[in-house]
A = this chain, B = another copy of it.
Amino acid sequence: MNELNLAQALNGALDTALSSDDRVVLLGEDIGRTGGVFRITDGLADKYGTDRVFDTPVAESGIVGAAFGMAIAGMRPVAELQFMGFSYPAYDQVINHVARIRNRSNHRFTAPLVIRIPYGGGIGAAEHHSESTEAIYAHIPGVKVVVPSTPRDARGLLLAAIEDPDPVLFLEPIRLYRAIKEQIPEIYYRVDIGPVRVERQGVDVTLFGWGAMMKETRQAASALEEEDISVEVIDVRTLTPLDRDGIVASVEKTGRAVVVHEAPLTGGFGAEIAATIQEQCLYSLLAPVQRVTGWDTVFPLKRSEGHYLPSVDQIIAAARRTLEE
């Protein structure tokens, strides 16, 4: 066991993957010499050599397209895009090629690659450095979208993603990289892609979240419990394929749900969860599913971040609204 934060857990998972599978290579901007802008690949170029860990030119479509070709030819590339706001030049590669080669070739060619993308706000960064556009990826059939929120899940999900026979977008919550530490087994273990994780059991209301917003979600849950409200907390973890059964089971029990994400409300992935809940358990619903989200505006610069990001209080208020009705 090792007490690690999320960034260290990811670094360890990549290290494990490189050492246990020759087909694994890493590529991305500045991931070699500097170990990436968030140091997630720190030390790996030194340890495995520049024939396994590649610094690339500044070209996101090139990175993903090259990783895609490598995956077809039998390797297990793990590409890093520096920030989610710089992932869009590769969007065409993801939706038109990475997500489709299995379909296009009826299983003959496949693209088992992982694209790691640091995402989310809260660090007062420059424009485009705080994006949370998981919804535009979760709408693409053919790629899986995974978002860990704990060091333990981070390691297990990343190893599962690298092993997965299909492409996985692995979204890393920037503001949690160094926020929490956890005891993590050093062994090779997987956390299944798919199932949600029930983090805390309760009977009055379910809070759904993923990634960085799990922090506020947990805090809200603790505050509500102090008022003797029994809160179920679910870390969705995998946006696609979505564990609808896990979501519905919880709401059938509690009858109340709040979905939390930092992306703008309109067309955010919270809509999918709310729509699913009302479809599958409308008659168990005691109140409308509440969405606590970012606003329908461009993620703001440092001075306005406080206006933008959903707060613990907003989550508490939303939960209360479900209980009042």
Residues on A facing B (Cβ under 8 Å): 61, 85, 88-89, 91-92, 95-96, 99-100, 103-104, 127-128, 133, 135-136, 138-139, 141-142, 240, 242, 263-264, 266-272, 274-280, 282, 285, 287-291, 296-298
**How far is it, in angstroms, between the C-alpha of A104 and the C-alpha of B126 when the chains are bound?**
11
Q: Jot down 12 A-B pairs with beta carbons below 8 A, ordered by A.
A: A88-B91, A88-B92, A91-B91, A95-B133, A103-B298, A135-B139, A138-B267, A141-B266, A271-B276, A274-B274, A277-B278, A280-B288
Most buried by B among A103, A263, A267, A297: A267
A103-B298, A267-B138, A297-B141 known; A282 vs B285 contact (CB < 8 Å)? yes
Q: A141-B264, A272-B275, A282-B285 are in contact. List 15 more A-B contacts (CB 8 A).
A: A135-B139, A136-B136, A136-B139, A139-B268, A141-B297, A141-B298, A242-B266, A266-B272, A267-B272, A270-B275, A271-B274, A274-B274, A274-B278, A277-B278, A279-B289
Docked Cα-Cα span, A165 to B302, in Å, equals 27
Check B266 against A138 for contact (C-beta < 8 Å): yes
